Amino acid sequence: MIKGLTAAVIAAVISLPVSAAQIEFSYSKLYSQLKHNLGENHPDVKIGYFMVAPETGEICTITKAWMIKKKNYEEFVIPDSQELPLPIDNRLRQVNPDVFIQTEGETLCDVSFQVMAKNTFEAELSEQELGTLVPQMTAMMQDLGGMFSSWFMPDVEGVSVHFDQPLTSLSTSEGRVIDVTGKVAVVKLADLNDGERVLFEQAPVKVTPWIPQS
């Protein structure tokens, strides 16, 4: 999760099937963050919503999700990435339907949003692409933080590349090695030479900002 930029909404468990947990929230609860996906200063970056286990931070598997308001009902198609595909619509915010999400297991998961690249970069990530992403991710996080966030929020200096399966390392087009910790590799813009490319053995699940720890 993005430090300091995590939204969590937990509601009562209702009418649950066996080995499943369910939460409910109103659409307007998340619209204030979701609307930033319409911003023009970060066209290659978005906010993605996921269900996250509160104790481990692991992504939860969504088994079913839907919106309902009176007689209107719409079920979401959940992608393999487990990103919740919420539509961005101000009129929908005014109608404010209830959103229900069921996840595998009996533990309630949190609704969490992450700043992430729109593209997953299936085979490689180039130095030029990273150079485009980094300032856009900084801009998105500053938009989320508000008017004075640029005063105290550190700039993004690279990305965390998340994989579905653990890896030991990545290689670059110049033969250098980038370590992978579990399922996540940190790629710093300053470490790549002009035109260098980071090569992926498997397609990443997502690409999120990396900020140096103070």
Q: Do 136 and 205 fall into the same domain? A: yes
Q: Do 79 and 93 fall into the same domain? A: yes
Q: Do 86 and 64 fall into the same domain? A: yes
Q: Is 134 exposed, middle or buried (0-12, 13-18, 19+ CB in 10 A)?
A: buried
Per-residue pLDDT tens listing for the chain (214 residues): 333 333 222 222 223 344 578 999 999 988 988 999 998 999 999 999 999 998 888 899 999 999 999 889 999 999 988 999 999 999 999 999 999 999 998 888 999 999 999 998 999 999 999 999 999 999 999 888 775 566 667 889 999 999 989 999 999 999 999 999 999 999 999 999 999 999 999 999 999 999 988 6
Domain that holds residue 78: 20-115
How many separate domains does the chain show?
A: 2
Domain final position from 55, 84, 115:
115
Residue 1: inside a domain, yes or no? no
Distance CA 193, CA 186 (A): 16
Q: Do 125 and 206 fall into the same domain? A: yes
pTM, entire model:
0.82
Residue 41: inside a domain, yes or no? yes
